Amino acid sequence: MNITYIEKLRNVIAIKGSNLVAGLDTDLLKIPRIFANFSNPVLEFNKCVITATKDIVAGYKINTAFYEAIGVKGAEALEKTVKFIPDDMIKICDAKRGDIGNTSEMYARAYFDNLSFDSITFSPYMGRDSIQPFLSRPGKLVYVLIRTSNSGSGDVQMLKLEGKERLYERIAADYRKWFQEEIGFVIGANHTEDIKNYTESADIPLLIPGIGAQGNELEALMRNIRNNLFLINSSRSIIYPAGKINNKGEFISKIAENTLKINTEINKFKVF
């Protein structure tokens, strides 16, 4: 019998003692020189990151943009990176897709059927039928963009509706009403009030980007998380260690050290 996404999530969080996901936003122009001579530098870099972190994190969030930016090599790196991640870990496709039914079906085929991601991030502007193909696959979950961490996130998300609620509040309520526990929310680490409200009111799985390089305070965030279904993503603070890297061993050890430090902090500040 297949387990649900939420069961898989609970299991891996408990086993690893971690609510952290490593964001594989691997930029070919930023990875250390030691990877330059491999036939697929991005793939080799990712394998090292996974080796360094697989016992410390709950899973991985892969941002498809970084792979699309390098074409065929990127598609290859993406496919082989996902395969390299142990099966019991959470694999999130951070693609922010959302399109008419037959196109969303293609995205579901790409990321759920072929690449075996467990979940995908989804942009809600096109409405109900644009999310359905993702939800018709058992054992998967869709993280709907609610409140993002970027500087312009308020431009649209904070618009006030007729009944005085904000657009993002309405989107959260509507999608939750339509799809119940098949969906989770993306809420940026800087929106601590929202994180508190949503984790207090129901067991909604949250995906929380925006700590580290995006610069929000971990302690303030942790004080406001009230259930244990959250995942915090960290990309740049994990995968780009400071200083010169001389070899793979050194790289793996620095990455592991960074990751352990962030994970320890998260666990230290947990309030439940």
Binding site for a copy of itself (CB under 8 A): 25, 27, 63-66, 68-72, 74-76, 79, 96-104, 106-107, 109-111, 114-115, 123-130, 145, 148-157, 159-162, 164, 167, 170-171, 174, 214
The CB-of-129 to a copy of itself minimum distance in angstroms stands at 4
- Dist. CA 122–CA 64, nearest whole Å: 13
Instruction: Collapse the DSSP code of 99 into the 3-class scheme (helix H, G, I; strand E, B; otherwise coil) and give the result.
Output: coil
What the block records as the tokens of 165 is 């609620």
Q: Which residue has the tokens 């949250």?
A: 206
Nearer to a copy of itself among residue 69 and residue 260 (C-beta) = 69
Of residues 248, 212, 262, the one with CA closest to residue 52: 248
Nearer to a copy of itself among residue 3 and residue 75 (C-beta) = 75
Instruction: Collapse the DSSP code of 214 into the 3-class scheme (helix H, G, I; strand E, B; otherwise coil) and give the result.
Output: helix
Amino acid at position 102, single letter: N
- Dist. CA 26–CA 45, nearest whole Å: 8
CB within 8 Å of 140: residues ≥ 6 apart: 5, 112, 117, 118, 119, 120, 134
Nearer to a copy of itself among residue 141 and residue 146 (C-beta) = 146
- Dist. CA 18–CA 267, nearest whole Å: 8
96 is catalytic: yes
- β-partners of residue 60 are 22, 91
The CB-of-127 to a copy of itself minimum distance in angstroms stands at 3
Nearer to a copy of itself among residue 152 and residue 243 (C-beta) = 152
Nearer to a copy of itself among residue 105 and residue 265 (C-beta) = 105
A 10 A CB-CB count for 118 gives 21
The CB-of-159 to a copy of itself minimum distance in angstroms stands at 6
The CB-of-106 to a copy of itself minimum distance in angstroms stands at 4
> Residues 73, 80, 96, 248: which is the catalytic one?
96
Contact 113, 139 (CB under 8 A): no
The CB-of-180 to a copy of itself minimum distance in angstroms stands at 16
- Return the DSSP state at 3: P
Tell me which residues are annotated as active site: 96
